Amino acid sequence: MIPAADPARTRRLGVALLGGLALLLAGGFAVWAAEALGTKALALPIALAAGMALLLNPFWPLFLLVISVPVDALFNRIFDPLPVSAATALTLLTLGALLLRLPREPRQERLLPDDPTLRWTLAFAVALAISALLAQDRDVAYEDAGRLGGQLLMMLLIVRIVRTPRDMRILLFGLAAAALFSALVVIFETETGIRLLSRTGGFARSRGASDQNPTTAALMQTFGVTMALALGLSYARGRLLTLSAGILGILGIFLSYARSASLTVAAVTLLIAWHHRRSRYFPLGAILAMGALVAMVPMIPDTFWNRLAALGNFDTDMTLWRRVGYNLIGLDLVAQHPLFGIGPGNFPQVYMDPQYRYMPGRTLEPRDLHNMYLGVAAELGLVGLATFLGVIASGIIRLLRRTAHCTDPTARAFATALLFGSLAYYVGSLVTPAQYVKFTWVLVGLAVAQARLMEPRRDGQ
């Protein structure tokens, strides 16, 4: 009589066979890479081992993917020896780990949740596709629509994978650490004149640990700094990290000479202080904050104050007139193409049209429209703008409602910090072309995930 198979033994045998096959394939790939890539192949065994470890749990490659967005210069340097970019590698690892975990999950949890924000996202994707099909330059439109599709995928992965309060705490603490690291890089580079990480562009201003342009890098910092500051004032654990990120992050934004980011952070910081006005520690906190501000002032170069002063006289800084020109052209394009716009990514080409040659501050180089909301309206039309605002507003409104009725102080602290950080980012986006910035969609995913974590259970908790 043949004995019945032992399920556990069969499972172990299957894992062993798969592991052996994976090692065999990895060995063959390493041999090929050594011949094709030369010295770069030395990094491959480490990368392969790390990749296999990350496949054990989809949260960890997702964590690295999210953290890599504001400090992409650091991750680009780490992934330099590899044949793929950091974003591509981490996205593939996240997808692979998720697919490996799916068979072990309950059937009802394998799909995305039924969420209003995801329905708005689907509507936005449809508007994006229609706008790309009707675009003036379809090649550019298809390229930018594809890039935006990848960012939507990242948002969906956050919603799908972040399932516990612990996951959210790790992500927000990680973003606070990224903000602190980037602030330290800005301070070092400003004081020494030595570039540590950023290699792209040729910008005189420091971008910290980001390869984005200085304005976009500062915009991402506004979230990290205000989120960390709000979290540090409401949640005791990790306070050294969060308050350090908040205080040094503010200094770093000042030293990056980013006017819009500096004004936004100052305004939201005042709102955070007002939120805590009834705390018994408020007087002491206000005194310490004033002391920190007084200590910062001597460290801020005159260049920053001169840039702020230019807001009172646009003729002293033509970049301000240029921003006025962006918005005037954007409004004209919305009037000409109200429904589905001129197509994703088409604004820089249309900006160079001779009919706009007399616009204020116009340059002879293609430029993006420095206003996320008007940029979406110009390129995707009012239909695209409506669905885009639906994506953002639905997540924020649900999170606000959950926070208002939340009785768990820890969940409330993290939700409030996320709301303050999002407020700073979305206000700063009024002067930044952030619709194609990955971090915009990271924030959407975080808001949806946090709101879902705060949904009341059957027992009312």
pLDDT score of 21 more than 50: no
Residues in the chain: 461
Q: Is 357 exposed, middle or buried (0-12, 13-18, 19+ CB in 10 A)?
A: exposed
What is the rounded distance in angstroms from the CA atom of residue 372 to the CA atom of residue 432?
6
In this prediction, residues 16-32 reach a mean pLDDT of 50
% of the chain at pLDDT higher than 90: 48
What is the average pLDDT score of the chain? 84
Report which listed range, 37-51, 278-292, 344-358, 410-424, is most confident: 410-424
Using an 8 Å Cβ cutoff, are 310 and 317 in contact? yes
Q: Which residue has the higher pLDDT, 40 or 215?
A: 215
The number of beta carbons lying within 10 Å of the beta carbon of residue 58 is 22
In this prediction, residues 84-100 reach a mean pLDDT of 88
pLDDT at residue number 177: 94
What is the rounded distance in angstroms from the CA atom of residue 120 to the CA atom of residue 7?
44
pLDDT at residue number 49: 62
Q: Which residue has the higher pLDDT, 4 or 151?
A: 151
Least confident of 98-102, 134-138, 417-421: 98-102
What is the rounded distance in angstroms from the CA atom of residue 244 to the CA atom of residue 187?
13
Continuous H helices in 134-258: 138-161, 165-192, 214-234, 239-255
Q: What is the DSSP letter of 134?
A: T
Contacts for 158 with CB less than 8 Å, ≥ 6 apart = 62, 66, 442, 445, 446, 448, 449
The number of beta carbons lying within 10 Å of the beta carbon of residue 157 is 21
In this prediction, residues 172-195 reach a mean pLDDT of 90
Nearest 5°: the CA angle 319, 322, 324 is 120
What is the rounded distance in angstroms from the CA atom of residue 13 to the CA atom of residue 21?
12
Sorting pLDDT into bands at 50, 70 and 90, what band is 157?
very high
Sorting pLDDT into bands at 50, 70 and 90, what band is 47?
low
Q: Which residue has the higher pLDDT, 421 or 291?
A: 421
Sorting pLDDT into bands at 50, 70 and 90, what band is 361?
confident
pLDDT score of 430 more than 90: yes
Sorting pLDDT into bands at 50, 70 and 90, what band is 65?
very high
pLDDT score of 91 more than 80: yes
Angle between helices 214-234 and 259-275 (to 10 degrees): 10
Using an 8 Å Cβ cutoff, are 413 and 228 in contact? no
pLDDT at residue number 2: 42
Q: How far is CA 445 from CA 87, 124, 195, 273, 394, in A?
A: 17, 15, 32, 27, 11
% of the chain at pLDDT higher than 70: 85
Sorting pLDDT into bands at 50, 70 and 90, what band is 36?
low
What is the rounded distance in angstroms from the CA atom of residue 27 to the CA atom of residue 42?
13
Least confident of 165-174, 335-344, 450-459: 450-459
What is the rounded distance in angstroms from the CA atom of residue 442 to the CA atom of residue 290?
33
The sign one gets for the Cα dihedral 286, 287, 290, 296 is negative
Least confident of 168-177, 208-217, 275-284, 419-428: 275-284
In this prediction, residues 95-118 reach a mean pLDDT of 82
Tens digit of pLDDT for each residue in 308-357? 777 877 777 777 888 888 889 999 999 999 999 999 999 999 888 888 88
The number of beta carbons lying within 10 Å of the beta carbon of residue 320 is 18
Domain ranges of the chain: 41-102, 115-161+313-455, 166-312
pLDDT at residue number 69: 94
pLDDT score of 441 more than 90: yes
Q: Which two tokens stand for residue 116?
A: 């209003």
Sorting pLDDT into bands at 50, 70 and 90, what band is 365?
confident
What is the rounded distance in angstroms from the CA atom of residue 75 to the CA atom of residue 113?
31
What is the rounded distance in angstroms from the CA atom of residue 86 to the CA atom of residue 78?
8
Sorting pLDDT into bands at 50, 70 and 90, what band is 3?
very low
